[in-house]
Amino acid sequence: MRGEPFDIQLLDYITGHLADAEYERMREWIEEEEAHRDYYERFYLEYLRQRWYFRARLIREKGRRRYAIRGWRRRVARYVIPLAASVVLLLGVFWGYQSGMWERGPGPVVATSGDIVPGTLKAKLMVDEEQVIPLDDNTSDVVEIAGVQPFVKTPGNIDYRGNEERSLYVRHHLLIVEKGGEYAITLEDSTFVQLNSASTLGYPVVFTGNERRVKLSGEAYFRVKSNQEIPFIVEVGDISIQVTGTEFNVNTHKKNQIETVLVTGSVDIIKDTCRYPLKISQKATYMIDSKEVIVEPVEIDTYVAWKNGDIIFVDERLEDIMYKLSLWYDFEVFYAQPEVKDILLSGDMMKYDRIENLLYFFENSSGIVFEITGRKIVVSMKK
């Protein structure tokens, strides 16, 4: 039953492209005997490795996620097993993974109750202490707020533009995105802000005076509407970021750090009376304890991929990776041995994929074991 046609069928099984009857026959074959299961697991692992390798190259070279897949299934099935040795030598033990085609394919060998699922488009809009409006990814709607004209809500975004009467009501709102969520907002001046999980943004309903000022906690991507006369200022902790029109990412989730990565335009990091200008593809890291600002060049894809539906990590500590994942998948993590936290891993995955796939891949490439119980993950070294 082996050979290229069978491997193509096995690939269709993994990606969920088989009809119901064919799907069940393949599942029965895998469970029939241990040799079949071993063959499937080797094929599955090499499939993950190949997908990450091709996609990682495209992310670096093109800076975007979508790419042509004509003939992809046949090429992968033909070469996935023979190329195993060369791919391992090329990429080493720090394998990454990505998959955007999973529909009902079989999960990896990681115990799970299915309680850990990807986040969704959801948030809370706090108008005042007595009025909190839930936001989700439902179809377009109009949000009525007492004393202020209606706001247009589209899936994943609330829009404050287009109603000059709001200038009569200079009020402040707070957009709250909890763990397992993300949401976007278009401010009154047409500035677009996309908030990642566990983040909040405070802002006025309408900007007045000689500045546009908002307050951020967590992580957000800003696309600021250009206005040379009225600067846009983001308050983050005890620093501020000043721009007139640009795109940048701000992250306060890392311990003792506030990171600002510039994508286009220019920004100034301001601490007391000191200014630290940033150029494109530079990162400014404000060290909260020491009060110093470190500016360095970076590959921006790693820092902004989340806004396009990806999670990327390059030679990051496992503890930092799991923390990043926990914000989106909303789980608790425990470490059986302290040294597990410092293992370095690289990879990328789509935010809406099953977390079990990534953990399975890590298990087969780094000597780590993951045990999932409900919404808890225990990480330990293989015995």
What's the gap between Cα 327 and its chain centre?
9
pLDDT of residue 253: 93
Better pLDDT: 88 or 2: 2
Better pLDDT: 112 or 213: 213
Decide: helix, strand or coil at residue 363: helix
What are the pLDDT digits (tens) for 129-159?
778 888 887 756 766 665 555 577 778 888 8
Decide: helix, strand or coil at residue 201: strand
Mean pLDDT, all residues of the chain: 78
Percent of the chain with pLDDT over 70: 75
pLDDT of residue 88: 33
Better pLDDT: 83 or 119: 119
What are the pLDDT digits (tens) for 86-126?
333 233 333 333 333 333 333 443 444 468 899 999 999 99
Q: pLDDT confidence of 65, banded at 50, 70, 90?
A: very low
pLDDT of residue 49: 60
Better pLDDT: 83 or 278: 278
What are the pLDDT digits (tens) for 277-334?
999 989 999 999 999 999 999 888 889 989 988 888 878 899 999 999 999 999 999 9
User: Within the chain, where are the H helices?
Assistant: 4-15, 20-32, 34-62, 72-79, 84-91, 301-304, 318-329, 355-366
- Here the tokens at position 71 are 């003939």
pLDDT of residue 145: 63
What are the pLDDT digits (tens) for 30-56?
878 878 877 877 776 666 666 555 555
pLDDT of residue 3: 64
Of 58-72, 295-309, 343-357, the range with the lowest mean pLDDT is 58-72
Average confidence (pLDDT) over 343-367: 81
Percent of the chain with pLDDT over 90: 38
* Fold held by 120-304: Jelly Rolls (2.60.120)
Q: What is the dihedral of CA 53, 67, 107, 121, to 10 degrees?
A: 120
Strands 123-128 and 120-121: unpaired
pLDDT of residue 213: 96
Average confidence (pLDDT) over 170-193: 92
Spell out the domain ranges in the chain.
Answer: 1-95, 120-304
| 128 pLDDT above the threshold of 80 | no
pLDDT of residue 283: 95
Q: Collect all residues with Cβ–Cβ distance below 8 Å to 338 and sequence separation of at least 6.
A: none
Are the C-beta atoms of 154 and 135 separated by less than 8 Å?
no
Q: Collect all residues with Cβ–Cβ distance below 8 Å to 137 and sequence separation of at least 6.
A: 120, 121, 122, 155, 156
Distances (CA, A) of 347 to 34, 52, 244, 309, 329: 30, 7, 35, 14, 17
pLDDT of residue 98: 34
pLDDT of residue 83: 41
